[in-house]
Amino acid sequence: MPILEAKLYPATGTGRPLPRPKLDSCRDVLDGRYPIVVVVAPAGYGKSTQLTRWYAQLLAQGVPCAWLSFDEQDDDPSRFTRHLMAALQRADPRIGAAVGQNPHADFAGGSNALLEALAGDLAAIQHRLVLFLDDLQFVRRTEVLEIVDWLVNYGPRNVQQVIASREEPRLRLSGLRVRRQLFEVDIRQMQFNVEEASHFYRDRLGRDLCPQPDVAQFAAQYRQRETGSGF
């Protein structure tokens, strides 16, 4: 079965993403302080762009990274698992050796054996690896969500997972919160502050905005108009 290569690399909606100094330098993400990172905000808030910036920084630091973008077709467990394996193998070719040549063989009997074999491969590499999962909101099917949930809750902790979704993921996150293994970024952190809105207006329109309340209002209005732009 073919692998869609475009799903395995970041793709953003603008060639000139706006710098987000506080998010870009977030050590809780970049230093791997939390094994699970979840970014939740509506379309147009720059989730994919922010994941891409973290991805690029980590690669530049020599941290192996895997990327998988979800779409509506990933509700098929076989398709999802095939692309998940391909993404991880691009980060480290040794991953998947224990799974064999047919990772989508039999989901009727459950996927635990496959996942346990995959977890064994991931634990065996013994170094940090970061798996980015973008647009999780497209996944609705229980079988696929169970795979993601299993990886989040039982995957080896040398594999940090960074997940972006337009809505609260249907994953078991409460235990991770209690154990302080979950770092969450929500709409409050993703929306522009006054300085970022002013920077955006100067950069794209070449002039300054008026007083600060107008800046914040402009940022909110622009985001609503440009839903999905990925700035």
pLDDT at 105: 47
Residues 22 and 39 grouped into a single domain: yes
Residues 52 and 152 grouped into a single domain: yes
Contact 185, 163 (CB under 8 A): no
Residues 152 and 94 grouped into a single domain: yes
Q: Which residues, listed in sequence order, are joined to residue 133 by a DSSP beta bridge?
A: 68, 163
Residues 121 and 225 grouped into a single domain: no
> How many folded domains does the chain comprise?
2
Q: What is the pLDDT of residues 74-106, one digit of tens each?
A: 888 888 988 999 999 999 998 876 565 555 544
Residues 87 and 97 grouped into a single domain: yes
Greater pLDDT, 55 or 197: 55
Question: Considering Cα of 24, then 18, then 66, then 150, what sign does the dihedral take?
Answer: positive
Residues 55 and 78 grouped into a single domain: yes
Residues 21 and 99 grouped into a single domain: yes
Domain containing 210 equals 193-231
